[in-house]
Every structure is written in structure tokens, then in C-alpha cells.
Amino acid sequence: KAAGAPSFTGDGFKNFKIRGRIQSDFAQIGDPDKIGTLSADGFTPDRGLGTVAEIRRVRIGAQGEMGDWGYKFEVDFAGGETNVADAYLAYKGIDNLALIVGYQKTQASMEEQVSSLDVVFMERSRFTDAIDLRREMGVTADWSGENWHWKSGIFVDGAFDEDDEVNGLIVSSRGHYTFGPKHAFTHMGASVEYRDSGAEQGRLRNRPLFHASDSRLLDTGSLDSTSSLYTGLELAGGYGAFYFETELATLGLSVRDEAGQSSTARFNGASLHLGYFLTGEQRAYKRSAGTWSRTKPDNPLGKGGFGALDVAFGADWVDLNASDESIFGGQQLTFLAGLSWRPVDHIRFMANISHMEIYDSASHLHLKNDGTVEDDFGLNMFGLRAQVDW
Amino acid sequence: KAAGAPSFTGDGFKNFKIRGRIQSDFAQIGDPDKIGTLSADGFTPDRGLGTVAEIRRVRIGAQGEMGDWGYKFEVDFAGGETNVADAYLAYKGIDNLALIVGYQKTQASMEEQVSSLDVVFMERSRFTDAIDLRREMGVTADWSGENWHWKSGIFVDGAFDEDDEVNGLIVSSRGHYTFGPKHAFTHMGASVEYRDSGAEQGRLRNRPLFHASDSRLLDTGSLDSTSSLYTGLELAGGYGAFYFETELATLGLSVRDEAGQSSTARFNGASLHLGYFLTGEQRAYKRSAGTWSRTKPDNPLGKGGFGALDVAFGADWVDLNASDESIFGGQQLTFLAGLSWRPVDHIRFMANISHMEIYDSASHLHLKNDGTVEDDFGLNMFGLRAQVDW
Amino acid sequence: KAAGAPSFTGDGFKNFKIRGRIQSDFAQIGDPDKIGTLSADGFTPDRGLGTVAEIRRVRIGAQGEMGDWGYKFEVDFAGGETNVADAYLAYKGIDNLALIVGYQKTQASMEEQVSSLDVVFMERSRFTDAIDLRREMGVTADWSGENWHWKSGIFVDGAFDEDDEVNGLIVSSRGHYTFGPKHAFTHMGASVEYRDSGAEQGRLRNRPLFHASDSRLLDTGSLDSTSSLYTGLELAGGYGAFYFETELATLGLSVRDEAGQSSTARFNGASLHLGYFLTGEQRAYKRSAGTWSRTKPDNPLGKGGFGALDVAFGADWVDLNASDESIFGGQQLTFLAGLSWRPVDHIRFMANISHMEIYDSASHLHLKNDGTVEDDFGLNMFGLRAQVDW
């Protein structure tokens, strides 16, 4: 199989490989003159909208194997910060079972398990972004067959926090089953993630699609929360050059009101993505893990072909309002269209356009032509990405 | 020799190799409900004890040679920080002499010279940890023979500090001699390290063994210090599958009292480690450097063997009290037992249990059942580590 | 060609290579007792002068190609910070044209385009340092022939700034033409860089040559600026073992006074470097890019030779005064002499001595023997560097 960088096997090690990726993003998010915040001094436009650009991800790392053991390490330098993306050791000496210890993804949501190199649009669905699913440190067990898997883990948060006073526990579990042959398969899956006090979400918020912006149009503000339970359902499929994926998810967050009374605030999200490869490829899918993987162009540019070109459409719903608990984070409906071009394997260009409707925004308001403001408003945006990995 | 990653030699370079390591730690440190601090509001438990977890070290780097020159670079991303672990250039063109310039370990203590991959317990001895021996930038000369060495260096602190106003000088020197044949050797060594104003220790403190905790049960607080002198003695040996190592060290720290009068506060530490390889290996030792090195399993798991298993016991004493100077950092006696399993070369699992007695703790108190508190108390703990390097 | 690390070509990739460098600096900058600041409490010496040391650069990265596409990534860990040095994707499928997207150098000044491994003295000319030319995120097009090039780009600042509210645009362009044969060539070039509001210089300042010091003897303080235009001219040449390079540059900075009136403050700089290889090498130069590149020793140490030794002299002028706009950053005239030894390819040692004259220093004063102070003064300094790259 063609890799982006050499892989080495020798005395005492197998498949040692250097890893890395660069994603350069540019976006135009409107309308910065008309969307902003209101204070006693009047309306202030949000300059975090408008023309934005950033290195979205830039990583280097290594992976390899020693006997039945494997490891993976990757570190990200985007945003002027240093964040380890993976740092784990795996044991694969038992049939159908892998045991993984270290810093790794928790098992919630299908799209969160897919590499950021291989997702449909420039960003993942808005709901899993709002609830900040992320890597944690712990132990997972992955039990899998040819067309199914069940992976569960227990984690302790604060793996990279020097001064973490309270380490919360996290338990998550995800499974899937794939029906049908390779060229016409249907995927069904589900996942749950429980987060104990100290590890639970203390704030839910969301950028307007593109990460290069620092604005959050949805925002619950800080919450006095004590634990959370995520539940998600997945349905996806690939039928020749056509593919789709849809996820439904809900987060129950235990919060305390000012009187100290606990109740469960409920937040919901849903997404639907449809795509089609104009150049005839089938979107790559890993049957034993229930995740999308790297799609290679059938006819690379420069070898008589044009690469792989796919077009995708999406709709995405996020509801961060929980009125019984007096939490008003806002609601968001996003429509997306995307074009993705892979001229050769390991290189990808993306163009996304989107219309987003915000309802009940708590943090931002729209300035109307008559000088009044409203908390229900729409905005248009587009983004571009150049991506390489090795 | 079997390496964890490939090594390359070509036109203009030799032995180029990518390096790295991952250490994932979990620990249980008790008793968080009963150990804490006392204020006007009463007793506050220290939640930095209890269940803790962290990525202890995660590194990537490179090393190589060009003619008689060699270099090594490694950077660590643990704790949400970025710390260069080594960055030096060495000249090896003279018999028995190596000259090394750049960021490197100073020459104090035997155990500090041993890689964190190869020390007996999950953490090094408590005294060298309390006085924060670390890498500095400078020049060292390593004069060595088959079974002895003498390495000395001069350093300037602040190698990675952009706004360091005062760069203090550091001079350190360490030597050793090894008696006996390879399978029954005895090591004797000594080291000194002088730190000038600006580079000297300004505070001595210590975590309760496991680094994943952010508590410090021993703590002198900030000191008005002007220079320091470390002196350490080493005795160690390997006799077949049995090994031991013991170090005695003292730090004289010049401090000023409130009247500006200088005197020398003295802090002491000692450690003794005994170990035995149940699977028959001898602990690897580098005779020309006087340091322990990587022990490889004789019979790796998956090749008809079980790997290397060793059991170790330790006792460790730290005294951070200097009553003449009115410094009361506390005293600590630690007993340790550890099991270490290397299933294949470059993979290691560790389990440590420990009982620690704290005397005269200045920062923490123990809440007794009768509601009173005491500054002499004990605590039990255990820790687990999964480690891979390449 | 001899590289410092292996380069790999395989199925799907070409010329994959790990990159890196270490530069260890030491400097002595005088006179810390006599140069400092004056306040109501009297004269305070600047302890940022004197003996200083630092790891100047320590980097790791990767580069490679896939078909007509190439990429380069490098990250720097000096100064306790993490800064991506390059992160871009290039398309080279068109004759004489390269298109580059991502984080890369802007196109201003010849010396800024030369690798920090290959510049004449330990630091680049003082003027481009004072105005902080640096990498940005954007798209460049490099149109080039055998002995000329024209490279232009458009950039958006804030590529690594998570909370950048205003992203300013930058446009820069540089071209050159080389006359004469390889062994007696003359280079002529010019560059311009426009920085829009948000990306423009807000402060101009300068360390006393060596970066290990944290003092700035020239400093305009914070300016209320809105845009800037850099213009630079280059003349250089190599004639056997002799080489020279000279640059003239000016920055027009739009600033607002307290009344909000805009005007253009003008800052100027010039440098001249002359060098000669005592061991007969010619300084390496890339004709199709108009930049100096890596000079290899003809007779490496250890292979019957002594390596490459060159001696260089320089003069450097910076004027950060703009009296019409009441900006008094000071003026600085620097004389330099440097010895540079490359024993083998990829290893380099440098010794620089310098005398610097400061005029109208706004931030620092010189304490005379009679107890009075002056803002015109001179200082002497020397620096040493050990460098390796791979």
C-alpha cells in the first residue's frame, strides 16, 4: 500500500514510520459589521468574523511495532499551543482483541473516530464540537470481527495538566455492525460516554463552522455541572461512489442551580452528510472498526488522471437550550456544500460553503437595517483548505 | 544490536536515528480525606492526592553522527509544556575524550545520569528530585577508560529563558571506578556541583513519590539563597541477577536571613535500592560511564519466553530541615517495592507500592480520628506505568 | 549530494527526509555596570547585558514530495516557546513556476530568505531584525529561470493566534537577476512588502546583536500604527573565495499622533558584509532563487583536510528615529568581524566580535566616570556558536 512516508522493518521493530500533517485554512465569515454584541455603549461588531486564516493542524509523530506491541505518537502545534494528539501503547497478541493504554480518543461518535484528514467537511459536526469530545488518558479494549467491533474504555482526565486537583473518571463504549458487501454496505452503530465530576463538560459552545474564527455564536456560559452522559446513534453507508452518514446525539448534563438543586439539562444534535465521488471512487471505510478511512484517487493527477473529486451536502442541527434549567446557549441550523479534491494520495484540497441560521443566540445579536437587533439571524460563509499528510 | 527504530548510515552521516518515548502513569495516593492543610476555616483535604494519572514523559527526537561529530536532540511534551530534554553536539575525535557542547545533564548523582527509561522505580530518589537537578547549557569534557570516567562541565543557566536577567554559572564534576569482572562488579563514584548566584536552588520541595500528583508534602518555601554546593557519593554493584545502588548526598545552600546575614543551610538525602531479576538477566551497566543502561530480556515474550521480570526494594531518606537557619521543609522516609516487566526490548511495565513517613511537614497536616491534627504522619500509595521507547 | 540525514524514495513518495538543527550560543556583552536606565532612584545597570547564553534554535521537521507536490515542516523549541518555522505545501508541476500555500517566509530582504544556518554572522542585519520580518500564512508564486526569479505572495497574519480579532493582509514581492558565470557572479535584487492594518509593525526594537541578551538598546516603544511599506535593494557577488553582500532598506510606517492625524514615519537601515574563505571554497549561492545556500568544505576534517574557514567583516546601520512624528527609537552603527569554521558538512562553529555605537538611545543610558549619563555610547561584545543540522 502506498504510504506518504517510508516504513521500516528491522531487527527488533516493525513498520516504524514518521507521521505528520499540515492543514492550512482560509475562511470568509459574514457579516462582521452586522453581527456582534450589545452593551450600554451600543452595538459592537464582532471582528472575529470576516476574513480569517490559520494553520488548522500541523503535526509530527511516529508509530511502530515491537513483537505483538504497537505504539503511536503525534503532537500538534496549531494555535500557538502544543497538544499531544496520540500517545499510546497497544497489545495485539490476542485474536480479535486489542488492548490500548495511554492518551487516545474516547469512544463516542462515529465521526470523532475518523481522522481529521478524512472527514467530509472542513470541520466535524457541530454538536460533538460543542460538547468538546476529545482524547483522554486511559485503557481501552477493542473487540472486533470482520464486520463489527465493540470498543470500551475507562479514562482519567488531566493527562497533561500539571496542577489538576480533581481527576474525573470517564467511561465510554462504542459498537457497530456492518451489513452488505463492500461495494454496497450499511453501517449501524451506537456509543455512550459517561463523565464523572471533574471530567464533565463545564461549558458548551461552538464556533461558526470554521475554526479559524475565534467567535462563538452558541455559548451556554460556565455551568455548575457535576456529571454528563452522552448517547449517540450512527447510520451510514457506501453504495459505489455514493455515501452518506447521519448521527443523532444527546447529552444529559447534571447541573446545580443557585439553590444547590440538581437536575439534568438535555442538549441535542443531529447531522446528515451525503456525498458522491464524481471520479468514481468509493469512500474508504474500515469494516472492522466502523470508521471512514483514507480514500485514494483511482487515477492520480500526473499519471493520466485528474485525482479524486467528490461533492458533498450536509445539514446539521445543534440545540444548546435547556429552558427548565435556565440555560440558553442557543440553537443552530447549518447547511453545507463541499467540494473535495485529492489530486494524488496524501494531498487534499477542500472548498466549503455554508448557510447558518442561529436561533436564540445568547452571546451575539444581529443589527438590522432599521437599527434594532434580533437574536435570530442567518449568516453565510465559505472556507478553503490545503492539506498534506505523510 | 536491536534498536527500537531503524538506524541509517550514508554519504556524510552515520547512525542517524529517530528517538522517542511514551510513559503513561496511574497512581493512587492516600489518604486525601485525612491529609491536607489547616486554616482559620478549618481542615481542607488535599485533592492533589487520591487518584491521579498523567502522561509522565512523551518525547520525540533525533540523533546522528557526521565524521567524528555526534549530536542528540529530544523534546518532551508532558504536562502541557514543551521542554527540550537534550540538544547537544559532541566531538569524539580524541581517544578517551569526548567534548560536548549544548543543553545536557549536569554531572551530579549517578541516578540522574541514568535514563528515565532505565531507573529502578517509577521516580528517581527523592533527594535529587527535591533539589531539582536538571539539564543546563554548557560544555563538558568526558575523560574515560574501560572501567572509569571523569566528566566535568561548566554551564550557564537560562538556556531556554527569553527574559533571564541573571545568568548564573554552574560547575559540576563526576567520576567513578568499577572493580571486578562484568558479572560481579562493584561501582564507586562521587560528584560535586556548585551553583552560583542566579543558578542556585531557590526552593526545595518534593511530590509524594508519583509525579502525577501536584501536591508537595515537603516544601521549604521560597528561600533567599545565593549559591549552593552539592556533594554526592555512590556505591553500586551487579552480581549476576542481583544488583544494588546506594547514594548519599548533601546540599549546602547559602541563604540570607532577614537581617541580611549569610549562613549555610544543610540538607541531606540518602537512598538504597536492591533488585533481582527473577528471569535471570543481569541489569545492564556501562563501565566506561558508570551508569546503568538498558536491560534487554534474554527470552522475549512471543519468542518462547516471558520477557524480563525484576523485583526491587528501596529505602529513601530526605531531610529538608535546617533549624539553625529557621528552614523547616520537613523530613521524609520512603519504603518502596517494585515489580518491573520488560516483555520485549523497548517495552516496560512497572508497578510500585510505597509507604512514606513524613516528619515535621511544614505544608501538610494529618487529620486524626479525634479531630486533632499532627505534622508527623504516614501514607500508602501505589503506581502503575506503561512505557515504550524507540 | 551529501545530506545530514537519509532521504527516501518509495511507492507514492519521493525525497522524504527528517530535518533539524541545534544552535548553542554564548556571548559576552559589555558593559553591564555602565549601561542601564535612569529613574528617580538613580542609575540601574542592565543585567540583561554581560554574560548570556541560550539555545538559539533547536528544530525538528520533515520534508517530502508526492508526484508534483512537495511539503516542508519545521518546528522550533528555542526560548521555552514552540514556534512553527515552516509548514507549507508546494506545487511544482508547471515549468519555471512554483505555487506555495501555507506558513512560509514573506518576500522581503535577501538575507531573510537565507537559512539561519548559512548567514554570515551569528545574527542577520540589525534593520530587518528591528522591523521583525517573519513567516506568515498565505500563497506565493515563484516564477524563476536559470539566473533570475520573481516571487510574490499574499498573506493573512495570525496563523497561530487562536484569539486574533483582526487579521491583517500582507503583500510582498521580491525579484533578482544574476550576472556573470558561477565563479564570478553579481547579484542584483529588490523587494517590497506592504502590511495592512492588523499586520503592520506596532513597535520597532533591537537586541544588542546577540539574541541571548534580552536587552533592547533601540526601542521605539508602542506605536499607534496602521500600515507599513518596506522597500529594499540588494547587491551581492561571489568571486572565487571572496564574497560580499549589501542591502539598503527603508520602512514607511503610517502612524497616528494623539490628535488622530496620520503621517508616515520613515526608518532606515543598511548593511555591508565582506568575506573570504581562507581554505579556498566559494560561498554557495542559488542562482534560480537569488539566495546564499549551504557552503560545503572542500577538504573535510578527518579526511586529510581542515574543513572550511572563512573570515568576514561587516558594517550595519539602523535608524529608528522619526523626529517629525516624535518617534525616538535611537540609531545604531555596528562593526563586526567573524570567523566561521565548518570542519565537516552540517557542522559549523562561529566566533563574532563587534563594536556597536548607539546614538540617541531612548531606553538606555551610559554612566560616565564622572557620574553623569549620556545617550550616545559604545559597547564591545563577542559571541560563540556551535551549530549542527541534519
Q: Which of B3, B26, B80 sits opposite A160 (nearest CB)?
A: B80
Q: Assess whether pLDDT exceeds 90 at residue C303.
A: no
**Sign, Cα dihedral of C178, C179, C185, C186:** negative
Tens-level pLDDT at each residue, chain A (390 residues): 557 899 999 988 999 999 999 999 999 998 888 999 888 888 988 888 998 899 999 999 999 999 999 999 999 999 988 999 999 999 999 999 999 999 999 999 999 999 999 999 999 999 999 999 989 999 999 999 999 999 999 999 888 887 666 678 999 999 999 999 999 999 999 999 999 998 999 999 999 999 999 899 999 999 999 999 999 999 999 999 999 999 999 999 999 988 889 999 999 999 999 999 999 999 999 999 999 999 999 999 988 899 999 999 999 999 999 999 999 999 999 999 999 999 999 999 999 999 999 999 878 999 999 989 999 999 999 999 999 999
> To the nearest whole number, what is the mean pLDDT of chain C?
94
Please give the pLDDT value at position B174.
98
Interface contact A75-B77, CB threshold 8 A: yes
Residues of B in Cβ contact (< 8 Å) with C50: 167
Please give the pLDDT value at position A303.
84
In the complex, which subunits touch B with 3 or more CB pairs below 8 angstroms? A, C
Q: Does A12 touch chain B (CB under 8 A)?
A: yes
Please give the pLDDT value at position A302.
84
> How many Å apart are CA C118 and CA B290, to the nearest integer?
39
Q: Over the stretch B328-364, which tens digit does the pLDDT of each residue have?
A: 999 999 999 999 999 999 999 999 999 999 999 878 9
Please give the pLDDT value at position B40.
86
Please give the pLDDT value at position B358.
95
Q: Does C165 touch chain A (CB under 8 A)?
A: yes
| A138 class by beta-carbon count within 10 Å (0-12 exposed, 13-18 middle, 19+ buried) | buried
Q: Assess whether pLDDT exceeds 80 at residue C2.
A: no
Q: Which of B4, B79, B301 sits opposite A160 (nearest CB)?
A: B79
Per residue, the 3-state secondary structure of chain C, as one string, reads CCCCCCEEEECCEEEEEEEEEEEEEEEEECCCCCEEEEECCEEEECCCCEEEEEEEEEEEEEEEEECCEEEEEEEECHHHCCEEEEEEEEEEEECCEEEEEEEEECCCCHHHHCCCCCCCCCCCCHHHHHCCCCEEEEEEEEEECCCEEEEEEEEECCCCCCCCCCCCEEEEEEEEEEECCCCEEEEEEEEEEEECCCCCCCCCEECCCCCCCCCCCEECCCCCEEEEEEEEEEEEEEECCEEEEEEEEEEEEEEECCCCCEEEEEEEEEEEEEEEECCCCCCCEECCCCEECCCCCCCCECCCECCEEEEEEEEEEEEEEEHHHCEEEEEEEEEEEEEEEECCCCEEEEEEEEEEEEECCCCCEEECCCCCEECCEEEEEEEEEEEEEC
Please give the pLDDT value at position C371.
87
Q: Assess whether pLDDT exceeds 90 at residue C167.
A: no
> How many Å apart are CA A374 and CA A378, to the nearest integer?
11
Q: Over the stretch C81-108, which tens digit does the pLDDT of each residue have?
A: 899 999 999 999 999 999 999 999 999 9
Please give the pLDDT value at position A30.
86
Q: Does A50 touch chain C (CB under 8 A)?
A: yes
Q: Which residues contact A234 (CB under 8 A, 6 or more apart)?
A: A109, A110, A176, A187, A188, A189, A190, A191, A245, A246, A247, A290
Say how many C-beta atoms besides its own lie within 10 A of residue B22's C-beta: 28
Please give the pLDDT value at position B164.
61
Q: Does A13 touch chain B (CB under 8 A)?
A: yes
CB contact at 8 A, A134 and A128: no
Interface contact C79-B162, CB threshold 8 A: yes
Q: Over the stretch B53-97, which tens digit does the pLDDT of each residue have?
A: 999 999 999 999 999 999 999 999 999 889 999 999 999 999 999
Domains of chain C: 16-389 (2.40.160.10)
Please give the pLDDT value at position A64.
96
Please give the pLDDT value at position B2.
56
Q: Which amino acid is at C335?
A: F
Say how many C-beta atoms besides its own lie within 10 A of residue B197's C-beta: 13
Give C150 to chain B, closest Cα distance, Å: 33
Give B76 to chain C, closest Cα distance, Å: 10
For B212, left (φ over 0), alpha (ψ -120 to 50), or beta? Answer: alpha
User: Across residues C14-32, what is the average pLDDT?
Assistant: 94
Q: Which residues contact B6 (CB under 8 A, 6 or more apart)?
A: A8, A10, A13, A16, B17
Q: Which residue has the higher pLDDT, C175 or C50?
A: C175
b/e code A24-48 from CB counts within 10 Å (16+ = b): bbbbbbbbbebbbeeeeeebeebbb
Q: Give the rounded percent of residues in chain B with a pLDDT score beyond 90.
A: 83
Q: Which residue has the higher pLDDT, B177 or C81?
A: B177
Please give the pLDDT value at position C80.
87
b/e code C182-203 from CB counts within 10 Å (16+ = b): eeebebbbebbbbbbebbbbbe
